[in-house]
Every structure is written in structure tokens, then in C-alpha cells.
Structure 1
Amino acid sequence: MGKLTTHVLDTMNGCPAAGMLVALYRMDGGQPTLLKQLALNHDGRADAPLLDDTTFKTGTYRLVFEVAAYFRGRGVILPEPPFVDAVPIDFGLANPLQHYHVPLLASPWAYSTYRGS
């Protein structure tokens, strides 16, 4: 059955982004509906799938990663406003039988994502 997972790596320090706050929204007609908020575990992952076979629905979603807050929490001095603050990633879930994984590689100055496995 389908599921959604995420993983964040801190590329500045070369480690998982433990403690980073993440929010998941479902986008209905362009309007976000908050589904879940969580802090990533010691491995930079959610403890459970963000969506599983009981909550997975096809559609458009948004993950928002609190990148600047995470780096401030690690003692990094950032400008105000920070260059990278909250990072939203909009994506579609089309197949309810597949595993969708949305990883994020983040630093205070850059980020990238891709569809992982």
C-alpha cells in the first residue's frame, strides 16, 4: 500500500537534521490544510510514515521544513532575514500503491530535493 516518508540531511554539518520541525499539508484547490506537524528523530526521519495505507490519498501536498530555525538551534548565526528560512516543497501523489519518499538536503544557504526510494 502507499505511504509517504521524508528524511533530512544537514549538509553543513554532515549529519541527519535531528529535531528539525516539519509540517505536512494537503493542498485542496490551492488552499493548504494542515495534516501533521512533527520533529524529526535522531536519524533525521519521521518516526512513522507521514501518510500510510489508511491516510494516503492521491492529490497535491506540501511539506514545509523549518530550516533556519533548525540551524539557529544548532548555534549558527544567520542574517535577518535568513537566506533560506522555511522550505516548502509541493508535490503530487498519483499512485496509492507506491511509496513516495521526499528527502531534503539542507544548509543555511542551499537546499535540494528529489523523489527518493
Structure 2
Amino acid sequence: MSVSTHVLDAVSGRPAAGIAVRLFAGGDLLAEGVTDRDGRCRLTDDATGLGTHRLVFATGPWFAEQAREAFYPEVVLTFAVQEPAEHHHVPLLLSPFAYSTYRGS
């Protein structure tokens, strides 16, 4: 299974570059990275297995670097892997006081 994400700043309508992202399975850290200038981060191309996984986005430091107040110091997206051979793309649409996500392709 491969895992990637794409973070967009919903207020500015631009990619959110420089957000640290970590991928966990249970309590185990599987991969970590930082969103690129297009807001994208490919975390792993390695198999991670079945079960519950979490993406943890360090949004607080990112907002602080921009001198923007924000309600969420981190965003945690939990998702279930039922087909390990599939690619899992989990985008994040981010604003200071709300966020949304969906299963991408």
C-alpha cells in the first residue's frame, strides 16, 4: 500500500507547503515527511498492512510561522486500510478553524 496526502489552505486557495506529516499504524511510526511547495507529500510506497492508520499533521507550527491564529494545533485523520495493495491518497483542506478530508485517488 502506498500513502500520500495533499494539503490545501482553504482560506488562501493555495497549497500548504511545509507542514510536517507522520503516518502511524497503531502506535508505530511508519513514515514521516513534509509537504512540498505544491502541498503534497508521499509518505510511503511500502506495504503497511491491514487495519487502522493515522495521518498526523503538525498544523499549529505551520499556522504560527504565518502569524495566523488557529484552533487546531494538529489534525489527526484516522482511516482503515482494507485493501493493502491499493494506493491511499488522503487530502486535507485546511483553514484556521475548520478542516475537511476525503478519500482521494
Calculate the TM-score normalised by the size of structure 2: 0.90
In structure 1, how many angstroms separate the alpha carbons of the residues matched to 2:14 and 2:31? 24
Shift of the alpha carbon at 1:43? 0.6
Residue of structure 1 aligned with 2:35, choices 40, 45, 53: 40
Residue of structure 2 aligned with 1:106, choices 91, 94, 99: 94
CA contact (8 A) 2:47 2:84 kept: no
CA contact (8 A) 1:4 1:50 kept: yes
**SS of the residue 1:90 aligns to:** strand
Spell out structure 1 runs of 4+ moving beyond 2 A: none
Shift of the alpha carbon at 1:38? 1.5
Partner of 2:82 in structure 1?
A: 94
Larger relative strand fraction: 2
Number of positions where the alignment pairs a residue of Structure 1 with one of Structure 2: 105
Q: After superposition, what is the alpha-carbon deviation per residue over 1:50-109, rounded to whole angstroms, capped at 9, x for unaligned?
A: 232x33322211111111211111221x2xxx4222011111111122111100000111
Give percent identity, aligned residues only.
Answer: 44
What RMSD in Å do the two structures reach over aligned CA positions?
Answer: 1.4
> Bigger radius of gyration, 1 or 2?
1
